[in-house]
């Protein structure tokens, strides 16, 4: 009898193996089908990226010029070096070698790379800007050893006058990751340079232009082989400012680094001829991508050089606010030009003593003398008769407590205190004695220097409002008027003229042949200089216009801790009136009875 071996287990295993191989084979077919058919375009693109590289061609920003064509912001040729991570065999080793080559700390390089960790590896990341010729030669000589490095051209923003006009012009800097998350910046990408402040920010879309693209073929080591196509960048448009460089420069020189601001504007059309904020800063420090230390130094500076005091500095207006009180009193019928109050150097309201700056008093004072000599007692009495509600209404009508509408970002609105405001903020009622201090521009009343300049322009225009602006092409003329009779403006202007020309508080602003009208102001506060040895300091104000009839220039000056307005701010204003007169009157042979 023949015995046969049982092959059932072997057949079973063979069958399982066959099915397994068949399954694997089917999976491979499906995978190949997916790669070849479904993901065809994806892998074609990846393959193309290995040999085709797209490079951004940065557009030049438009120039910023003053009204006479002087260039305040331009572009200069600059070369950057970037790293392409896909060309790195080991990124950490590459960074160590690059650190030695370029003289950049390794941790700085890593920090820079980490900002772009979500970017595709084939995208170049700038690691050093403003390469010297020595840097370029070194990189070019070693390009076979550093295939991950590429040199790129980029027009770099440059501010030829450095600190002069910095707060107006502003600066540019790399877009931040926070800004990229903002829907307003959805068309931007990491590494783009945008306007961060001033005109650069306000008119960024106008100045920026449109970047171009370059597509080129490279080898496996990233070396250039052939250009495929190029879309040239379109340069941004130029912006012409209303600023007069000579007046701007002189304003900043006269401030001499002291804290404060100066505004010079045309009351007819709102054109700003100068806007100085002191101390200033050099916007060139912000142009690059590695400015952390410089930024921290400026931010921590107790003098706040980055703040544009002209539109963001909040100050008590002091005696300049007396002009508002006078106009309100005239329009409300509480006084006429010959109404008088007696000034004996001090008086009492609501069982509290209030003093005049002139301890000996001014005697019997009418409107003209009150403005001329800036008599506190006169305006204490007038403010008390007006009351806080009417002061609130007229201060708002004359330009305070709201933005002026200037074409700069970040303008503050100031504050006109009122019973409603005090109840909302402090949950306490308004006391009548607070109105007395407010009548001479003290207390919680806060204004910006630009608001004071606009207020002065309204008076110079006999009630016609203006919108201040910095870009020449803007037409901001307004026919809107304050509801105060022209004859009342004339009365206040007469007092302002006497303040300068008849030995009043503004006499140091007097300039022969230019009929200046002005008002001084002085506000006391505790100095912030030194925590232990704080002392009472005085801000110095002057605001005025010229000539008296048909005014064409307004000048407002504030010098922080400068002392009395007539002693510090008024002489500065005089020098600026003189320069304006020489430049726009005498050089043009303009003869007129001022």
Catalytic residues: 319
b/e 89-102 (16+ beta carbons within 10 angstroms → b):
eeeeebbebbbebb
With a CB cutoff of 8 Å and minimum separation 6, the contacts of 317 are 441, 445, 447, 452, 521, 523, 541
Sort strands 71-83 and 149-158 into parallel, antiparallel or unpaired.
antiparallel
Closest alpha carbon to 394 in 320, 482, 314, 458: 482
Q: Where are the alpha helices (DSSP H) in 417-483?
A: 419-426, 432-438, 449-460
Is residue 325 helix, strand or coil? helix
Question: Is 429 within 8 Å of 422 (Cβ atoms)?
Answer: yes
Which segments of 164-321 does DSSP mark as H helices, in order?
Answer: 166-169, 177-180, 198-202, 204-208, 245-255, 292-300, 309-312
Q: What gap in Å lies between CA 134 and CA 151, rounded to an integer?
A: 13
Nearest residue to 498 via CA among 486, 507, 489: 507
> Six-digit token pair at 54?
């797209």
In degrees rounded to 5, what are phi and psi of residue 520? -95, 165
Considering only CA atoms, which of 36, 89, 126, 120 is closest in space to residue 220? 89
Residue 98's contacts (CB-CB under 8 Å, 6 or more residues apart) are: 83, 104, 109, 127, 146, 148, 149
Burial 295-322 (b: 16+ CB within 10 A, else e): eeebeeeeebbbbbbbbbbebbbbbbbb
Q: How far apart are CA 509 and CA 494, in angstroms?
A: 16
Angle at Cα 110 formed by Cα 106 and Cα 115, nearest 5°?
A: 150
Alpha carbons 163 and 382: distance in angstroms, whole number:
44
Query: Per DSSP, which regions of 256-301 are E strands?
Result: 260-265, 272-278
| Residue reference for tokens 């216009």 | 545
CA angle 6, 8, 14 (to 5 degrees): 130
Q: Which residues have C-beta within 8 Å of that of residue 517, sequence separation ≥ 6?
A: 460, 493, 496, 497, 499, 500, 544, 545, 546, 548, 551
Q: Which candidate, 180, 330, 172, 162, places its Cα nearest to that of 252?
A: 162
d(Cα 272, Cα 443) in Å, to the nearest integer?
29
Helix (H) or strand (E) holding 381: helix 376-386
Residue 454, phi-psi category: left (phi > 0), alpha (psi -120 to 50), beta (remainder)? alpha
Q: For the purposes of burial, counting CB atoms within 10 Å of the CB of 531, is it exposed (0-12), middle (13-18) or buried (19 or more)?
A: exposed
Instruction: Please give the radius of gyration of the chain, using alpha carbons only, rounded to the nearest integer.
Output: 35
Q: Measured between alpha carbons, how far is 387 from 433 in angstroms, rounded to an integer?
A: 10
**Spatial CA neighbour of 163 closest among 308, 297, 20, 333:** 308
């Amino acid at each position: 009898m023949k015995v046969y071996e049982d092959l059932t287990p072997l057949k079973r295993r063979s069958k399982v193996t066959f099915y397994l191989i068949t399954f694997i084979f089917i999976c491979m077919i499906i995978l190949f089908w997916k790669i070849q058919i479904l993901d065809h375009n994806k892998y074609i693109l990846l393959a193309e990226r290995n040999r085709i590289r797209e490079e951004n061609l940065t557009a030049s920003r438009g120039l910023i010029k003053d009204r006479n064509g002087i260039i305040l912001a331009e572009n200069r040729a600059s070369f950057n070096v970037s790293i392409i991570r896909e060309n790195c065999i080991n990124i950490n080793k590459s960074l160590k070698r690059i650190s030695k080559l370029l003289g950049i700390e390794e941790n700085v390089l890593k920090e820079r790379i980490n900002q772009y960790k979500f970017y595709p590896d084939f995208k170049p990341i700038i690691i050093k800007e403003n390469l010297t010729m020595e840097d370029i030669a070194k990189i070019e000589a070693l390009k076979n050893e550093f295939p991950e490095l590429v040199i790129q051209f980029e027009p770099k923003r440059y501010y030829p006058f450095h600190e002069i006009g910095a707060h107006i012009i502003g600066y540019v800097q790399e877009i931040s990751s926070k800004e990229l998350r903002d829907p307003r910046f959805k068309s931007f990408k990491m590494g783009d340079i945008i306007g961060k402040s001033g005109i650069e920010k306000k008119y960024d879309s106008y100045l920026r232009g449109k970047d171009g693209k370059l597509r080129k073929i490279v080898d496996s080591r990233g070396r250039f082989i052939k250009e495929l196509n190029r879309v040239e960048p379109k340069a941004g448009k130029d912006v012409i400012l209303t600023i007069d460089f000579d007046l701007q420069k002189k304003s900043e020189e006269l401030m001499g680094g002291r804290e404060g601001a100066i505004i010079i504007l045309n009351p007819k059309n709102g054109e700003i001829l100068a806007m100085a904020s002191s101390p200033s800063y050099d916007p060139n420090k912000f142009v690059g991508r590695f400015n952390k230390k410089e930024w921290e130094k400026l931010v921590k500076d107790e003098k706040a050089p980055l703040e544009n005091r002209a539109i963001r500095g909040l100050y008590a207006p002091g005696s300049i606010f007396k002009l508002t009180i006078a106009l309100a009193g005239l329009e409300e019928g509480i006084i006429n030009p010959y109404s008088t109050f007696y000034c004996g150097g001090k008086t009492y309201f609501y069982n509290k003593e209030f003093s005049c700056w002139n301890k000996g008093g001014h005697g019997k004072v009418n409107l003209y003398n009150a403005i001329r000599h800036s008599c506190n007692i006169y305006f204490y009495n007038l403010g008390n008769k007006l009351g806080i509600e009417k002061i609130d209404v007229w201060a708002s009508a004359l330009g305070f407590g709201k933005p002026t509408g200037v074409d700069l970002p970040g303008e503050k609105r100031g504050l006109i205190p009122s019973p409603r405001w005090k109840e909302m903020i402090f949950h306490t009622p308004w006391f009548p004695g607070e109105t007395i201090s407010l009548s001479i521009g003290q207390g919680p009343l806060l204004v910006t220097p630009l608001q004071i300049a606009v207020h002065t322009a309204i008076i110079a225009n006999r009630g016609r409002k203006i919108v201040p602006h910095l870009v020449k092409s803007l037409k901001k003329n307004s026919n809107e008027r304050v509801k105060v009779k022209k004859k009342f403006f004339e009365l206040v202007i007469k007092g302002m003229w006497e303040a300068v020309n008849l030995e009043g508080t503004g006499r140091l602003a007097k300039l022969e042949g230019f009929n200046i009208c002005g008002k001084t102001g002085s506000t006391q506060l505790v100095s912030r200089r030194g925590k232990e040895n704080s002392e009472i300091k005085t801000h110095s104000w002057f605001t005025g216009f010229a000539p008296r009839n048909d005014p064409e220039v307004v000048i407002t000056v504030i010098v922080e801790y400068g002392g009395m307005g007539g002693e510090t701010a008024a002489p500065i204003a005089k020098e600026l009136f003189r320069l304006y007169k020489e430049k726009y009157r005498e050089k043009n042979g303009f003869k007129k009875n001022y």
